[in-house]
Amino acid sequence: MTVVAVPVDPPREGLVLPELAATSPLSEREAVSLYEAMAADAFRAVTDSGGDLLVNYRPDDLLPDEHVPEGADAEREVRDFVEDVLDEDEAADARVEVQVGSSKHARVGNTVTHLLDAEDVASVAVLEPDAPLVARKHVDSAALKLRRNPVVVGPSRGGSLYFAGFREPIDFEGAWDAPEIENVTARAVDAGHDIDFLHEQTRVCTGDDLVSLVTELRARRAAGRVVPAFTTAYVEDLGLRVEEEDGERVLVRE
């Protein structure tokens, strides 16, 4: 069984998807709601698959001071969110645990190494919460690849990763520095591990990313294909579509 960790931040304005609000028609509040929708689809992809869901949250003491309002409780916010988007049994089965480490590579490394070594799980994967087109079939396919390869990675635009799975640990120091796909692969090669790759998927961090997502969602809907339920519903609520203006693809609201 693969434990799939989805690393999340508490859904607060200015903390999650800050570049999206700055580079698209979405407000900070709307960017938060989109983040929640995409994370909900990530949770659903894992719970519908053969994997075990671990929601791995960043605590208030690891967040920038400006994003920790008085009385903030990151754990409570994340637990409430999980309970809101999963049914009662799924929420009860999901693990919600704090991240440990001051950097992304440290937090990922601590989670993966602890699960592999201390809990003796067969494999561990990290699925980013902003890759809403990742579905159950992708999670299951990655798990099958992990049976044959100690490391499996899923690339996104700009050399980032939306997925990284491990049957064996690597040296995580600096692994999540950009470009992540190269650095994680290099650490795996250094450790003597074979690596397999998933198909590229869109992560939604900027306005350009949202353009790609909106066009694909609308195309999939028109073709009667499966779409991520939470993300699609919110994009449709916003009335987003893409038009060409002066040779540029731009987001507009209907």
Position 36 scores a pLDDT of 98
* Residue 247 belongs to a domain: no
Distances (CA, A) of 123 to 68, 111, 176: 34, 12, 19
* Residue 177 belongs to a domain: yes
Position 1 scores a pLDDT of 80
Single-letter residue type at 78: V
Distance CA 129, CA 34 (A): 11
* Residue 105 belongs to a domain: yes
Maximum separation of any 2 CA atoms in the chain, in Å: 57
* Residue 216 belongs to a domain: no
- The number of CA neighbours under 13 Å toward the Cβ of 211 is 13
Position 88 scores a pLDDT of 94
Position 48 scores a pLDDT of 96
pTM: 0.97
CATH number of the domain where residue 180 is located: 3.90.550.10
**Looking at the 3D structure of the chain, how many domains does it have?**
1
Q: Would you tell me how many other CB atoms lie within 10 Å of the CB of residue 35? A: 22
Position 247 scores a pLDDT of 85
* Residue 253 belongs to a domain: no
Distances (CA, A) of 58 to 19, 24, 25, 218, 230: 19, 26, 27, 33, 23
* Residue 251 belongs to a domain: no
* Residue 82 belongs to a domain: yes
Position 151 scores a pLDDT of 98
Distance CA 102, CA 173 (A): 12
Binned average pLDDT, 10 residues per bin, the chain of 254 residues: 96 97 96 98 96 97 96 97 95 96 96 95 97 97 96 97 97 97 98 97 97 97 96 97 90 90
3-state SS record for 83-123: HHHCCHHHHHHCEEEECCCCCHHHHHHHHHHHHHHHCCCCE
* Residue 69 domain boundaries: 2-202
* Residue 220 belongs to a domain: no
Position 57 scores a pLDDT of 98
